Amino acid sequence: MRAIVVREHGEPETLKLEEVGTPAFGDDEVLIEVHAAGVNYPDLLVISGQYQILPPRPFSPGKDAAGVVLATGRNVRTCKPGDRVMAQVEYGAYAEQLVTSGENCFVIPHSMSFNDAAAMGLVYQTAHFALVERGMYRPGEVVLVNGAGGGVGLAAVQIAKGLGATVLAGVRREEHARLATESGADHIIKLDADNLRDSLREQVQAVTDGHGADVVLDPLGDDVFDASMRALAWRGRMVVIGFAAGRIPAIKANYLLVKNILVSGLQWSDYRERDPAWVRRVQTELFDLYTAGKIKPNVMRSFALEDCAQALALVKAGKVQGKVVLTTANAKA
Whole-number average pLDDT of the chain: 95
Our CA dihedral for 125, 126, 129, 131, rounded to 10 degrees, sits at -120
Asked if pLDDT for residue 333 goes beyond 80, the answer is no
pLDDT of residue 319: 86
Sign of the dihedral through C-alpha 20, 26, 32, 38: negative
pLDDT of residue 321: 86
pLDDT of residue 290: 97
Share of the chain above pLDDT 70, in %: 100
Asked if pLDDT for residue 255 goes beyond 90, the answer is no
Q: What tens digit of pLDDT does each residue of 278-307 get?
A: 999 999 999 999 999 999 999 999 999 999
pLDDT of residue 215: 98
Q: What is the mean pLDDT of residues 65-94?
A: 97
Sign of the dihedral through C-alpha 181, 187, 191, 193: positive
Query: SS3 string of 108-166?
Result: CCCCCCHHHHHHHHHHHHHHHHHHHHHCCCCCCCEEEEECCCCHHHHHHHHHHHHCCCE
Q: What tens digit of pLDDT does each residue of 52-78 get?
A: 889 999 999 999 999 999 999 999 999
What 3-state DSSP class applies to 86? strand
Domains and their CATH numbers in the chain: 2-121+269-332 (3.90.180.10), 138-266 (3.40.50.720)
Share of the chain above pLDDT 90, in %: 88
Q: What tens digit of pLDDT does each residue of 35-48 get?
A: 999 999 899 999 99
pLDDT of residue 34: 98
Q: What is the mean pLDDT of residues 120-136?
A: 96
Helix (H) or strand (E) run with residue 43 in it: helix 41-48
**How many Cα atoms within 13 Å fall on the side-chain side of residue 108?**
24
pTM: 0.91
Per-residue confidence band for 244, with pLDDT thresholds at 50, 70 and 90: confident
Q: How far is CA 59 from CA 55, 65, 95, 106, in A?
A: 7, 15, 10, 23
The answer for residues whose C-beta is within 8 angstroms of residue 274's C-beta and 6 or more apart is none
Q: What is the mean pLDDT of residues 99-119?
A: 96
Asked if pLDDT for residue 1 goes beyond 80, the answer is yes
**C-alpha to C-alpha distance for 192 and 68, rounded to whole angstroms:** 43
- Residue 57 · residue 104 · CB < 8 Å: no
- Residue 90 · residue 145 · CB < 8 Å: no
pLDDT of residue 58: 94
Q: What tens digit of pLDDT does each residue of 8-19 get?
A: 999 999 998 999
Q: What tens digit of pLDDT does each residue of 192-213 get?
A: 999 999 999 999 999 999 999 9
Asked if pLDDT for residue 130 goes beyond 70, the answer is yes
Nearest residue to 266 (alpha-carbon basis) of 315, 218, 213, 323: 218
pLDDT of residue 320: 86
Which letter does DSSP use for residue 192 in this model? Answer: T
How far, in whole angstroms, is CA 309 from its chain's centroid? 19
